[in-house]
Amino acid sequence: MNAYTRILAKKHPNFCINCVCPGFVKTDINNNTGHSTPEEGAAIPVKLALWPNGGAPSGLFFVQGEPIPFE
């Protein structure tokens, strides 16, 4: 997924394309056993989606709100 995100970001430089892992979120599918609320899980994708044009990072993979290196 990380490699595909980088490929898309390079292919479409006018778009902001990132991959986000929200973590283990409490939902019905896991019997609400997750560690964070849906609101907490949605915070980073929403932040990235609302980033001002021209200043947003692209081609990155975010875990717990931080970009992680591609290895």
Quick: pLDDT tens for 13-66: 988 899 999 999 999 999 999 999 999 999 989 988 888 876 788 999 999 889
Task: Give the amino acid at 26.
Answer: K
Beta-carbon contacts of residue 42 (< 8 Å; ≥ 6 apart): 22
* Number of domains observed in the structure of the chain: 1
pLDDT at 32: 94
pLDDT at 71 over 80: no
Task: Give the amino acid at 36.
Answer: S
pTM for this one?
Answer: 0.78
Query: Parallel, antiparallel, or unpaired for β 66-68 and 61-63?
Result: antiparallel
Query: What's the CA gap between 38 and 23, in Å, rounded?
Result: 10
Q: Where in the sequence is the domain holding 45, given as residue range(s)?
A: 2-68
Instruction: Give the residue, 53 or 1, on which the prediction is more confident.
Output: 1
